[in-house]
Amino acid sequence: MSSVAVLGTGIMGAPMARNLRGAGLEVRVWNRTRERAEALAEDGIEVAGSPADAAKGADATLTMLADSEAVESVAAEALPAIGGVWIQSSTVGVDATGRLAATAAERGVPFLDAPVLGTKKPAEDGKLTVLASGPEDQRERCAPVFDAIGARTIWLGEAGAGTRMKLAVNSWLLALTVAIGESLAFAEALGADGATMLDILDGAPMGSPYAQLKGKAILAGDFTTSLPSRLAEKDARLILEAARSAGLEPELARAVHERFVQTVALDHGEDDMAAVYLACTPGAQTRTG
């Protein structure tokens, strides 16, 4: 493994590309909006003009794109040029992962379903958790890629297993985010002080470091984006769809999804998912007031 193509240089893809380069791999990137990728040239990363140009000759091609539509359209262009392994790390859900795996198989391209846990900062620090799944004979080969972007790689089985675990963990994570947003809005509506509430939760068995992180950001009104609310809405929708396909009707996941739909409708889709607090607050503010 000496060269990697990264397709998609957004919040996650750009730092992942930098860390791959930092680990000594040759890295080529492509991004729909080329300007967003150009800063990477300073790190010795080549910016390609098309997905196929990026993928051509690379030992691995890693997709880190917004959603299944993006991955499917970019893969249609890139696949004929992929000679190595395709590592699919975008969060696209169960059904789309099945379709992508089938498309890769038709082309004879080894496919790893490897979504990641962790957000902007862990991506920058190379401290993501990779939920890897796919053919056994690719594991050792892809280790340098996963070691460069993550602190931990967990192998889960055949392609699709990574995505299923990602959705399960995100179900917990998104519920936690809505829980802290709604609980703070509730505290304030009752005249109970939000900062004191966070202090009571701090270190307590029912508290969590994540509640502290997001709770403090909410109280500071700081919605600097790690995971944009629009992607949280997408993930919540994928969770709901997967749950229903599995025969469940999860009431909590439905409510969580609805909260993120409201957050996006309030024009906070580009803000961090902690902005879900605004959807829980009576008379919630839109970006324009």
Instruction: Provide the annotated active-site residues.
Output: 166
Q: How would you class 135 by CB atoms within 10 Å of its CB: exposed for 0-12, middle for 13-18, buried for 19 or more?
A: middle
DSSP secondary structure string for all residues of 57-114: T-SEEEE--SSHHHHHHHHHHHGGGB-SEEEE-S---HHHHHHHHHHHHHHT--EEE-
Please select the residue that binds ligand NAP; options are 4, 5, 8, 218, rule is CB under 6 A: 8
226 binds ligand NAP (CB under 6 A): yes
Q: How many residues bind ligand NAP (CB under 6 A)?
A: 27
Give least dist CB 230 to ligand NAP, A: 8
Q: Is residue 227 part of the contact set for ligand NAP (CB under 6 A)?
A: yes
Q: How far apart are CA 242 and CA 42, in angstroms?
A: 41
Q: Does 231 bind ligand NAP (CB under 6 A)?
A: yes
Q: How far is the CB of 74 from ligand NAP (least distance, A)?
A: 5
Residues 9-28 that bind ligand NAP (CB under 6 A): 9-13
Q: For the chain, give the number of residues.
A: 289
Residue in the shown chain whose Cβ atom is closest to ligand NAP: 10
Q: Closest by alpha carbon to 66, among 93, 101, 100, 38?
A: 93
Q: Is 74 in the site for ligand NAP (CB under 6 A)?
A: yes
The single-letter code of the amino acid at 220 is A
Q: How far is the CB of 188 from ligand NAP (least distance, A)?
A: 27
Q: Residue 89 Cβ, how far from ligand NAP at the closest point, in Å? A: 7
Q: Is 116 in the site for ligand NAP (CB under 6 A)?
A: yes
Site string for ligand NAP, 250-289 (x = CB under 6 A): ----------------------------------------
The number of beta carbons lying within 10 Å of the beta carbon of residue 124 is 17
Axis-axis angle for helices 68-78, 94-107 (nearest 10): 10
HSE-up (13 A, CA, CB side) for residue 288: 2
Of 18-26, 30-38, 171-179, 202-210, the window that binds ligand NAP (rule: CB under 6 A) is 30-38
* 45, 25 contact by CB (below 8 A): no
Which residues in this chain contact ligand NAP in the complex, by CB under 6 A? 8-13, 31-33, 36, 64-67, 69-70, 73-74, 90-91, 116, 119-120, 226-227, 231, 235
